[in-house]
Amino acid sequence: MSSRLRYVTFIHYLVYLLVRLLEETLHKIPESAAFALGRFVGRLVFILFRDRREAALENLTIAFGNEQPQSWIQSTARKSFEHIGLLAVEFFLIRRWDQKKMAEKIILEGRLPYELAMMPGNHGILLLNSHFGCFEVSAATTKFLGIRLNLIATGLKNPFLSQYFMSRAGGEEATGIRFFPHKGSVKALISSLHAGEMVACLADQRGDVERGVFVNFFGKPAPANEIFARFAIEGNAVVLPLCTIRRDDGRYQSIFGEHIHLKLTGNEREDLIAVSQQFHDQFEQWLRLKPEQGFWLQRKWRRKRSRRRRRHDENNGK
């Protein structure tokens, strides 16, 4: 092992230990103090990270600029960063929730669509979620209901943290969650849907501008990642929306929406666009419900040019 590799491994392990210390600290202090810390960190990020703040303000202006004043957009952007700080705290707290704690914390809405989707049949279920609300609590909701599912997740460069985060309170045997990486898992996930299993995904991820599909999102064209529509179409899946919102009383409301009946024409490209549009129509409904619980800090409509791209354009007179 080279000296550089040993150094990188040491730094990764040190960061891992600091994260474990943070988790232990959050469980030692009162929950109210933990959430106050989360809000404070969110506000601090809003102040210090100019690029992320500008991205959130840009996204909210594109989405709501014709409906809301600039003061509302500024306030909602700040609240969305506080929300992200709370998400970070919740990630650590819910790892240790038992069934009793989940029963106290989670309010279920829309049981009928859920129960209909879970009826026996020759279909898998695509559990449609997005970067809205408390998506980590949505995962806890599936555990609370005793659902075994396949979850698409991105690993981290830090191998210690990646393994730790993916364990999610005991790993697959304890949680019923089996993780798949974003890359190289398409065939396996479609096969699991054919086998009648459930696949959960955060399907609002930005698509490739040059090769992806575009959808109408808040009245503006936005690049969408069509792979999630492909899962639904090729997996012959029942699409069941699920979002979880944070309530003022400290509990969470997990809402199962009505099944999304896919509008298919038989034309592969048109079907990917149409289904991606159906998904984004659902995401827009959620964001309009609680815009301050949206994940606005990542550019959805326009991507900021990298320094290399800006230099290339400048050198070519663009």
Task: Give every CB contact of residue 251 below 8 A, 6+ residues apart in sequence.
Answer: 104, 105, 106, 107
State the sign of the Cα–Cα–Cα–Cα dihedral 103, 106, 107, 109. negative
Residue 304 in contact with residue 51, Cβ under 8 Å?
yes
Packing angle, helices 227-234 and 186-194, rounded to 10: 30
Nearest to 253 by CA among 44, 110, 91, 66: 110
Question: How far are the Cα atoms of 105, 113, 233, 243 from residue 125, in angstroms, in the given order?
Answer: 25, 12, 11, 15
The whole-number pLDDT of residue 306 equals 44
Q: What angle do CA 287, 292, 293 make, to 5 degrees?
A: 65
pLDDT digit string, tens, across residues 109-149:
987 778 877 776 678 999 999 999 998 899 888 888 888 88
Q: Mind listing the pLDDT tens digit for each residue in 58-110? A: 999 999 999 999 999 999 999 999 999 999 999 999 988 989 999 999 999 98
- Predicted confidence at residue 308, as pLDDT, reads 46
Q: What is the pLDDT of residue 307?
A: 45
The two beta strands, 252-256 and 238-246, are antiparallel
pLDDT at 32 over 70: yes
Angle at 86 between CA 82 and CA 89, to 5 degrees: 145
pLDDT in tens, 195-230: 989 999 999 988 877 767 999 999 999 999 999 999
